[in-house]
Copies of this chain bind each other. A is one copy, B any other.
Amino acid sequence: MASSTGDRSQAVRHGLRAKVLTLDGMNPRVRRVEYAVRGPIVQRALELEQELRQAMGQRPITFLRQVLALCVNPDLLSSPNFPDDAKKRAERILQACGGHSLGAYSVSSGIQLIREDVARYIERRDGGIPADPNNVFLSTGASDAIVTVLKLLVAGEGHTRTGVLIPIPQYPLYSATLAELGAVQVDYYLDEERAWALDVAELHRALGQARDHCRPRALCVINPGNPTGQVQTRECIEAVIRFAFEERLFLLADEVYQDNVYAAGSQFHSFKKVLMEMGPPYAGQQELASFHSTSKGYMGECGFRGGYVEVVNMDAAVQQQMLKLMSVRLCPPVPGQALLDLVVSPPAPTDPSFAQFQAEKQAVLAELAAKAKLTEQVFNEAPGISCNPVQGAMYSFPRVQLPPRAVERAQELGLAPDMFFCLRLLEETGICVVPGSGFGQREGTYHFRMTILPPLEKLRLLLEKLSRFHAKFTLEYS
């Protein structure tokens, strides 16, 4: 200690010195996290996207906000300006809250009544297949629950490190979380030629290669796909479940876009339902976690950070550990829990709010479907751009041809070629799309992700402007 005191006094005399926490000395796993959707380019992009939404004037669903306002300020329960069913719903939620208030912590797994409502929602969705509220855990958006389940799975060192299969292209939460946890990201490629379908042969390939250097323990599936917009067929889901069972992989099903299916012939099948209908040995044994959120669907209430995970066939002791882990963060935001409750148990046909609720919901979904179709059409008319059908979710992920000279120019600038394209697009047109390299893509192919959220006519202009920019860009570098 004496010599260290001497060093210290010297350090103090020296004046300015190195920081304790530096880029070189910080958590190396955090440094490895890359998060394309929220990288520096996207800060500006996000602001632009918000301006878009604002211009769009998409109003929140009235019933949801009425009930939430009543919950936030129960003095309003005596106001004549709210429908009776909204008041009843608010009272029901408040009764289930600590101190009858959204301001109290809930238990860490979420308000019991809401877990029960979620279980009933799952049962209705899955044609009556039972769901146990004790297997439902509310979360801070879906991200929170996804990270929690991944955390449980990570173990081992070196060649025994946990490997997790994720689709490419993927939603970057997965790559970021695996990097932070020190797990091995095992890429399986979705098949762009078949509208981004998941191919079990490709799962086998990815798994076989991964077994050389890690211990694969989990398989993540995003359905409907982000960023691909693909909706999986029932046959595909069955094949994935068989694969996971045979290869002893824990299944994570990211199903946050389950209400967002637009294409004729496409239908959402939950992994839980398919698993249960497959019977033994799958139904009683295959471990599954399914995630949902209040951020997507027709409601799009991202800011409230509501979500849940349902776990199926999870080891009971592990489930206890999961609850312990959740309890460290106390509880998910209670307004988000309340909102989730409304999403999973909307007004019934006999309720005064039913007609308006249905009309608003259908209007949002119908417009999204029209915009999904429009996106595909406009992009596929543009030379050098090809776009798979946006069967579901909220994005298109078109492929763009970039001329070799543009690729060279990007390399000179130290940028991924699609990042270069997106930056130029942003600068020259103000249109913000996210480069495909942030989601992953086959070597030598280039994509971008674009949201279908702007209002129809505005979206048409954006699509056309983008297509024209691409033509100009191609010319410039040819």
Task: Enumerate chain A interface residues (CB-CB to B < 8 A).
Answer: 1, 5, 8-9, 11-12, 15-17, 19-23, 25-28, 30-31, 33, 35, 37-39, 43, 46-47, 49-50, 53-54, 56, 58, 60, 65-66, 68-69, 72-73, 75-76, 79, 81, 97-108, 140-141, 143-144, 147, 151-155, 172-173, 176-177, 180, 204, 208, 217-218, 245-250, 280-281, 284-285, 287, 295, 299-305, 313-315, 317-318, 321, 324-325, 327-336
Whether A73 contacts B65 by the Cβ 8 Å rule is yes
A187 to chain B, nearest CB (A): 18
Whether A99 contacts B68 by the Cβ 8 Å rule is no
How far apart sit A11 and B244, CA to CA, in the bound complex (Å)? Answer: 13
Whether B27 contacts A151 by the Cβ 8 Å rule is yes
- B-chain residues with CB within 8 Å of residue A325 when the two chains form the complex: 30, 33, 180
Whether A324 contacts B38 by the Cβ 8 Å rule is yes
**Besides A20-B248, A65-B75, A69-B76, 6 other A-B contacts (C-beta < 8 A):** A23-B317, A26-B155, A27-B152, A33-B324, A72-B72, A176-B328
- Closest B residue to A70 using CB positions: B69
Whether A334 contacts B33 by the Cβ 8 Å rule is no
A-B contact pairs, 12 of them (CB 8 A): A11-B246, A15-B280, A19-B314, A20-B249, A21-B318, A33-B324, A35-B324, A53-B104, A103-B299, A140-B329, A302-B331, A303-B334
Whether A16 contacts B284 by the Cβ 8 Å rule is yes
How far apart sit A302 and B97, CA to CA, in the bound complex (Å)? Answer: 12
Q: A20, A68, A208 — which one has the most chain B CB atoms within 10 A of its CB? A: A20
- B-chain residues with CB within 8 Å of residue A324 when the two chains form the complex: 30, 33, 35, 38-39
How far apart sit A143 and B27, CA to CA, in the bound complex (Å)? Answer: 19
Whether A16 contacts B285 by the Cβ 8 Å rule is yes
How far apart sit A334 and B104, CA to CA, in the bound complex (Å)? Answer: 17
- Closest B residue to A306 using CB positions: B333
Copies of this subunit: 2
A134 to chain B, nearest CB (A): 13
Whether B180 contacts A328 by the Cβ 8 Å rule is yes
Q: Report which of B60, B247, B248, B318 forms a contact with A101, defined as CB distance below 8 A.
A: B60
Q: Report which of B15, B305, B321 forms a contact with A31, defined as CB distance below 8 A.
A: B321
- Closest B residue to A66 using CB positions: B73
Q: Report which of B26, B98, B248, B301 forms a contact with A50, defined as CB distance below 8 A.
A: B98
- Closest B residue to A327 using CB positions: B38
A154 to chain B, nearest CB (A): 5
Q: Report which of B69, B248, B327, B331 forms a contact with A303, defined as CB distance below 8 A.
A: B331
- Given A38-B327, A73-B65, A324-B38: A304 and B102 within 8 A (CB)? yes
How far apart sit A447 and B158, CA to CA, in the bound complex (Å)? Answer: 43
How far apart sit A98 and B48, CA to CA, in the bound complex (Å)? Answer: 10
How far apart sit A329 and B180, CA to CA, in the bound complex (Å)? Answer: 12
- A-B interface, 9 closest residue pairs, ranked by CB to CB distance from nearest: A303-B334, A38-B327, A50-B98, A69-B73, A53-B99, A333-B333, A8-B246, A23-B317, A103-B301
Q: Report which of B50, B66, B104, B287 forms a contact with A21, defined as CB distance below 8 A.
A: B287
- Closest B residue to A68 using CB positions: B72
Q: Report which of B143, B299, B318 forms a contact with A328, defined as CB distance below 8 A.
A: B143
A339 to chain B, nearest CB (A): 9
Whether B287 contacts A19 by the Cβ 8 Å rule is yes
A76 to chain B, nearest CB (A): 6
How far apart sit A415 and B466, CA to CA, in the bound complex (Å)? Answer: 67
- B-chain residues with CB within 8 Å of residue A33 when the two chains form the complex: 324-325, 328
- Given A33-B328, A281-B12, A330-B143: A103 and B22 within 8 A (CB)? no
Whether B107 contacts A46 by the Cβ 8 Å rule is yes
Whether B333 contacts A23 by the Cβ 8 Å rule is no
How far apart sit A12 and B22, CA to CA, in the bound complex (Å)? Answer: 51
A95 to chain B, nearest CB (A): 10
- B-chain residues with CB within 8 Å of residue A280 when the two chains form the complex: 15
- B-chain residues with CB within 8 Å of residue A100 when the two chains form the complex: 54
